[in-house]
Chain A
Amino acid sequence: MKKTMYEKIWDSHLVAEVAGQTPLLYVDRHLMHEVTSPQAFEGLRLAKRKVRNPHSILATMDHCVPTKDRDLPISDPIAKKQIETMADNCEENGLNLYDMKNPNNGVIHIVVPEHGFVHPGMVVVCGDSHTATHGAFGALAFGIGTSEVEHVMATQTLPQQKSKTLLIQIDGELSKYASAKDIALAITGKIGTAGGNGHVIEYAGSAISNLSMEGRMTLCNMAIEAGARAGLVAPDEKTYAYLKGREFAPSGEGWDQALAYWKTLPSDEGAEFDMVVTLNAADIEPQVTWGTSPEQVTGITDRVPAPEDFDDSIKQQACANALEYMGLTAHTKMTDIPVDLVFIGSCTNGRIEDFRIAAEMTKGRKVAANVTAIAVPGSYHVKNQAEEEGLDKIFIEAGWEWRDPGCSMCLAMNGDELTVGQRSASTSNRNFEGRQGKGGRTHLVSPAMAAAAATAGHFVDIRNL
């Protein structure tokens, strides 16, 4: 039988399929951060259970950590306790933790690929919905709840229902400056935030194979915004070249064995998917969200829609609510929307290529008056690399703040946040009400679009720069 990549990974990880029980799936890698793990460790302790495979876990601190003045104690006592609890839990269980002071520290989904911890064909989980990022390597990677974090620690398995498969086929050439982020937003716009519910996405087509590994990570990262728990890209030469030589990648004879296995993973020619969606890369303009859901998105040359532009009464109401919350008038040109704050960073767009393109847009320009611009590298390695290339100087000279790594304004848990009514251009992944601070108004964009908005003070069509 012809199999999709998802089915191959599923079949090879099936531990038990007992009648009357949910199938049990083996987990190869378990990623951790400080917010969704403490209650899981507490549960283990109470039940006197142990972590089954400590070597399968890599942990970091990212959600609550400050992105400036790292030398000072954390001022928020509850965040401080969470950070300390994480350190204690990792020490007690012998887990590999990149704490705040560690040179490997950063956002979990940035750090893990940097160290080659995830390989093609693995099953990877984390108490974080953006775990989907690692699908870029052809690994089945998905977010789980805290009870499941505890379950995986205790058993190295998860009871799972098999998902349906959704093929998103994108061929053709992207237009100049359109990026993986624009593909991700365009998909969410097309199928909606519930479009992928119950499915695992496989992204395929020439526009996908042309993406760099970092671009594929950005794309898979936002599979969850289209409702899918996981997104996959078939491993290819780019994947192997990226992994080779990294700390946790196989080496020597192990590399050859692994490579032979990885090459068997792509979906068989003619394998059937439950649903297929196609997009033409050439049609994807640089995207900007206008509402409070990632599906409320449009191209930069478009205008803010009006409720009556939608057929469905639920979408009409959602549009009306979003316009009110966002303080926008229907039919405003996207390029006429001003911004107060620009954030470049997050597990979606906090990698070196993101800062390179943003620096290219920033070089020789100045941040507009009344705009605050914050660059938050995804990890210390990204930060150091950017500094080696002199990117930090470009940002600082233009008036940007150059910070230490962390999740920062993506979810605004660490004190970096919007004030009521402030409007951001953000390279993160969610524009929900209050996501970046109560009353804050978020527009999701690519790094290039964010950097250009910082200079202009409003959104611009970067293809005309």
Chain B
Amino acid sequence: MQAYIKHESIAALMNRSNVDTDQIIPKQFLKKVERTGFGQHLFHDWRFNDDGSENAEFELNKAIFKGAKILVAGDNFGCGSSREHAPWAIADYGFNTIISTSYADIFYNNCFKNSILPIVATKAQLASLMDEISANEGVKFIVDLENQQLTTPAGNGFKFDVDPVRKENLLKGLDDIGITLQYIDLIDQYETKHKQSYPWLWA
């Protein structure tokens, strides 16, 4: 997994709440058996017209948001289906940071497996960020995960919370399975005990 490093990037604004994973990556693109190439289909039904051309009305199609690494979005981002294709598409498109007031649990977990930092803001913090982007489209924010600090030109940045284990793994780009396998002895011990406690499961 790619390590997450401090960066200064364009923040794109998507002022919609309850953005669900069916919108992030519509189901017609879930049939691939690879992990790559989903970015071209991100937000497909909103992003493209029926003839395949870009929908000029869709916020992320604004030229000024091209190359954005930070996505600022409304409440409860990523609800619905557990599909990890959603964070794969977000990362493949180029985003590595999302800022919202809340996330659906499965989506939130999936972000950390894909080098995406989902920052939780208060309602007031999010509103200030949205206002700042609206007033100055193309504005760049600085995300410093090491110090858990978001910085913006107009001073709307804030310290954000992140689980210390997840932070460490993101900063180092560590693979979860590798970490867990360090505890293989504990898993073996647990399983031995499990067989004694619940023998009918192993009959």
Residues of A near any B CB (own CB < 8 A):
12, 15-16, 18, 20-22, 24, 26, 28, 35-36, 38-39, 42, 47, 49, 63-64, 76, 78-79, 81-82, 85, 119, 127-129, 142-148, 150-151, 154-157, 159, 161, 163, 193-194, 197-198, 227, 229, 250, 254-255, 257-258, 261, 293, 314, 317-318, 411-413, 430, 432-435, 438
In the assembled complex, the Cα of A14 lies from the Cα of B70 at a distance in Å of: 36
Contact, CB under 8 Å: B30 / A35: yes
In the assembled complex, the Cα of A154 lies from the Cα of B120 at a distance in Å of: 31
Contact, CB under 8 Å: A318 / B27: no
Kindly list chain A residues whose C-beta atoms are within 8 Å of the C-beta of B32.
78, 82
In the assembled complex, the Cα of A267 lies from the Cα of B193 at a distance in Å of: 24
Q: Which 5 A-B pairs have the closest CB atoms?
A: A254-B200, A145-B84, A250-B200, A147-B113, A38-B33
- Whether, in the assembled complex, B22 has its beta carbon less than 8 Å from a beta carbon of chain A, the answer is yes
Kindly list chain B residues whose C-beta atoms are within 8 Å of the C-beta of A318.
17-18
Contacts known (A21-B179, A229-B105, A430-B22); A250 close to B45, Cβ less than 8 A:
no
The interface bits of chain B over 172-186 (1 if a CB of A lies within 8 angstroms of the residue's CB, else 0) are 000011011101101
In the assembled complex, the Cα of A52 lies from the Cα of B23 at a distance in Å of: 35
Question: Who on chain A is nearest to B198 by CB?
Answer: A261
In the assembled complex, the Cα of A11 lies from the Cα of B80 at a distance in Å of: 28
CB distance from A277 to the nearest CB of B (A): 18
In the assembled complex, the Cα of A193 lies from the Cα of B22 at a distance in Å of: 15
Contact, CB under 8 Å: B106 / A145: yes
Contact, CB under 8 Å: A432 / B22: yes
Q: Which of B42-91 contact A (CB under 8 A)?
A: 45, 74-76, 79-85, 87
Kindly list chain A residues whose C-beta atoms are within 8 Å of the C-beta of B181.
154-155
The interface bits of chain B over 148-165 (1 if a CB of A lies within 8 angstroms of the residue's CB, else 0) are 000000000000000111
Contact, CB under 8 Å: A194 / B76: yes
CB distance from A430 to the nearest CB of B (A): 6
Kindly list chain A residues whose C-beta atoms are within 8 Å of the C-beta of B179.
21, 159
Given pairs A39-B35, A82-B31, A229-B106, 5 additional interface contacts (CB within 8 A): A20-B165, A254-B203, A255-B200, A293-B20, A314-B75
Kindly list chain B residues whose C-beta atoms are within 8 Å of the C-beta of A227.
76, 79, 104-105
- Whether, in the assembled complex, B125 has its beta carbon less than 8 Å from a beta carbon of chain A, the answer is no
Kindly list chain A residues whose C-beta atoms are within 8 Å of the C-beta of B194.
26
Q: Which of B85, B102, B165 contacts A21 (CB 8 A)?
A: B165
**Most chain B CB neighbours (cut-off 10 Å) among A148, A194, A293:** A194
Contact, CB under 8 Å: A435 / B22: yes
In the assembled complex, the Cα of A20 lies from the Cα of B169 at a distance in Å of: 11
Question: Who on chain B is nearest to A410 by CB?
Answer: B27
In the assembled complex, the Cα of A148 lies from the Cα of B87 at a distance in Å of: 13
Contact, CB under 8 Å: A39 / B34: yes
Contacts known (A24-B183, A145-B106, A293-B18); A413 close to B30, Cβ less than 8 A:
yes
In the assembled complex, the Cα of A422 lies from the Cα of B181 at a distance in Å of: 50
CB distance from A240 to the nearest CB of B (A): 13
Kindly list chain B residues whose C-beta atoms are within 8 Å of the C-beta of A198.
105
Contacts known (A15-B183, A85-B33, A438-B45); A432 close to B80, Cβ less than 8 A:
yes
Contacts known (A147-B84, A318-B18); A434 close to B45, Cβ less than 8 A:
yes
Kindly list chain B residues whose C-beta atoms are within 8 Å of the C-beta of A142.
106
Question: Who on chain A is nearest to B87 by CB?
Answer: A145
CB distance from A429 to the nearest CB of B (A): 9
A-B residue pairs in contact (CB < 8 Å), sample of 5: A47-B177, A78-B32, A148-B113, A193-B76, A194-B18
Contact, CB under 8 Å: A193 / B74: no
In the assembled complex, the Cα of A375 lies from the Cα of B36 at a distance in Å of: 36
CB distance from B34 to the nearest CB of A (A): 7
Question: Who on chain B is nearest to A321 by CB?
Answer: B16
- Whether, in the assembled complex, B28 has its beta carbon less than 8 Å from a beta carbon of chain A, the answer is yes
Q: Which of A255, A314, A434 contacts B23 (CB 8 A)?
A: A434
Contact, CB under 8 Å: A430 / B198: no
CB distance from B66 to the nearest CB of A (A): 25
**Most chain A CB neighbours (cut-off 10 Å) among B31, B45, B113, B186:** B31
Question: Who on chain B is nearest to A413 by CB?
Answer: B27
Question: Who on chain B is nearest to A14 by CB?
Answer: B190
Kindly list chain A residues whose C-beta atoms are within 8 Å of the C-beta of B113.
145, 147-148
Contact, CB under 8 Å: B163 / A22: yes
- Whether, in the assembled complex, B26 has its beta carbon less than 8 Å from a beta carbon of chain A, the answer is yes
Kindly list chain A residues whose C-beta atoms are within 8 Å of the C-beta of B97.
none
In the assembled complex, the Cα of A119 lies from the Cα of B103 at a distance in Å of: 30
Contact, CB under 8 Å: B199 / A127: no
Contact, CB under 8 Å: A194 / B104: yes
Contact, CB under 8 Å: B180 / A433: no
CB distance from A303 to the nearest CB of B (A): 22
Contacts known (A229-B106, A250-B203); A36 close to B84, Cβ less than 8 A:
yes
- Whether, in the assembled complex, B124 has its beta carbon less than 8 Å from a beta carbon of chain A, the answer is no
**Most chain B CB neighbours (cut-off 10 Å) among A28, A76, A82, A432:** A432
In the assembled complex, the Cα of A115 lies from the Cα of B106 at a distance in Å of: 27
Kindly list chain B residues whose C-beta atoms are within 8 Å of the C-beta of A194.
18, 75-76, 79, 102, 104
- Whether, in the assembled complex, B201 has its beta carbon less than 8 Å from a beta carbon of chain A, the answer is yes
- Whether, in the assembled complex, B110 has its beta carbon less than 8 Å from a beta carbon of chain A, the answer is yes
Contact, CB under 8 Å: B34 / A157: no
Q: Which of B33, B35, B45, B166 contacts A82 (CB 8 A)?
A: B33
Contact, CB under 8 Å: A146 / B180: no
Contact, CB under 8 Å: B31 / A433: no
In the assembled complex, the Cα of A39 lies from the Cα of B82 at a distance in Å of: 14
In the assembled complex, the Cα of A212 lies from the Cα of B113 at a distance in Å of: 38
Contact, CB under 8 Å: A144 / B200: no
Kindly list chain B residues whose C-beta atoms are within 8 Å of the C-beta of A151.
176-177, 180
In the assembled complex, the Cα of A375 lies from the Cα of B14 at a distance in Å of: 38
- Whether, in the assembled complex, B96 has its beta carbon less than 8 Å from a beta carbon of chain A, the answer is no
Question: Who on chain A is nearest to B18 by CB?
Answer: A293
